[in-house]
Amino acid sequence: MVLLGILLFPVYAGVLPYYENGLFGLLLVIFALQIISMGRTPFGDLKRTRTLMFCGVTVATVGIVTCFIPDVLGHVPRMLLILFFGAGGLVLLLQMIIVKGQGRLWRTYGSIFNQLIFASCAVYLVQILIAVLIFKPNLVPGFFVASAALLYGFALVYLVWVLQKITRRYPLAGQLPDSHAGLSLDNAMLLLMGVFMLLLGLLLLPVSLGLIPFSPSAQLGLLMVLFGIQMLAVGSTPIGAFERSWLIVLLGFVFGGLGVVSCIIPDILVAPLTLMVGILNMAGGMITIAKVSVPLLKERKAGGPIPPIRIKVDSALLVMNILTILFGITMLISNLIPGLVLGGVLAANGCVLLYLLYQLESLKKFQGQGGDAVAS
């Protein structure tokens, strides 16, 4: 949001172009990620259920389609953001002050918790203001809209800083109860990436026939943002997982920042991001194939039993990364594959990602039961 606020100043001054659908779609995908990974909705934390997961995937789908296809969903993205920012901010504010009495409880703790009250109220109030500005975009000059986005970004950064201090002092405060745990962030990102690839592949079919418009800038930008979030949260990069060091965090901010710019400012970064995404997909696919196939071959030569679910996971990984390499090649060599075929390849990649997620969740469930099912 800080970067958005900075970009909106030259946008409203007429210096830079602006793709509103890219911004709206990006915000919806971020809301969806919170719902899927933590059960954290715009209206508060809820128990993760199939219904909530379905709602998260639906919001992600709306956000992805909004980014890719300009104006195809009409006012739906705008209305959803007004609901999430406006009604969500109001509900959270009322819960803190009146309904749940969190504010009164925090005041009794004093110290850093007084800052938590201030930071939370600031975030919720600015959210409501942003909802008003989305509903009435011409209510105030563009300078004030950009300032509101910048203020919201600073308020979020301040809230995160306060929460970090509280978590360091009281480690248990940063842990969610099991009922709110949801998917791990890695698997939530895998779910989003699967939906992303599936929708991209399906949408490329009518796009290649010239039936609907398409925004390659927002597509690349959203992909870079997903890469950046993975790096920031768990140290997972397109070429493999690393320790979450300051270098990885810095790269996460760079990837995310480039993605935000590409989503909001059309066409400005298409060429460099196409090259970057192509190289990363090819390199990541080849590295992962090597990491999966070499240990698997050694185990087969040793003659030891390999659990069936392990074979399913490794097979899905191999197929997925072959498709990833093919996608990377098409990014580097334009028109190598006809649009209809490329759409099918990407849709297949999305299906394999979702299948892999299913197998990984099954593996985690079996391991939680003591591993008996894995060995069968």
Q: What is the pLDDT of residues 328-371, one digit of tens each?
A: 888 888 777 777 788 888 888 889 888 888 888 777 766 655 54
Written as six digits, the tokens of 44 are: 């508060």
Collapsing DSSP states into helix, strand and coil, what is residue 177?
coil
**Share of residues in the chain with pLDDT > 90 (%):** 25
Distance CA 164, CA 162 (A): 5
What is the length of the chain? 376
Residue 236's H or E segment, with its range, is: strand 236-237
pLDDT of res. 373: 41
User: What band does 375 get if pLDDT is binned at 50, 70 and 90?
Assistant: very low
Residue ranges of E strands in 263-363: none
Could you give the maximum distance between any two Cα atoms of the chain, in Å? 72
**Share of residues in the chain with pLDDT > 70 (%):** 90
For residue 372, the one-letter residue type is D
Report whether 62 contacts 28 (CB < 8 A).
yes
User: What band does 2 get if pLDDT is binned at 50, 70 and 90?
Assistant: confident
pLDDT of res. 127: 93
137-146, 152-161, 169-178, 273-282: lowest mean pLDDT where? 169-178
**Which phi and psi (to 5°) does residue 41 adopt?**
-95, 170
Domain boundaries, the chain: 2-182, 187-371
User: What band does 13 get if pLDDT is binned at 50, 70 and 90?
Assistant: confident
Task: State pLDDT tens for residues 33-51.
Answer: 888 878 888 988 888 788 8
Q: Which residues pair with 41 in a beta bridge?
A: 44
Q: What is the mean pLDDT of residues 182-195?
A: 79
More confident residue, 174 or 201: 201
pTM reported for the whole predicted model? 0.85
Collapsing DSSP states into helix, strand and coil, what is residue 267?
coil
pLDDT of res. 145: 87
Which residues contact residue 299 at a Cβ distance below 8 angstroms, ignoring those fewer than 6 apart? 306
pLDDT of res. 12: 86
Work out the mean pLDDT of the chain and round it to a whole number: 84
Which residues contact residue 303 at a Cβ distance below 8 angstroms, ignoring those fewer than 6 apart? none
pLDDT of res. 180: 46
User: What band does 25 get if pLDDT is binned at 50, 70 and 90?
Assistant: very high
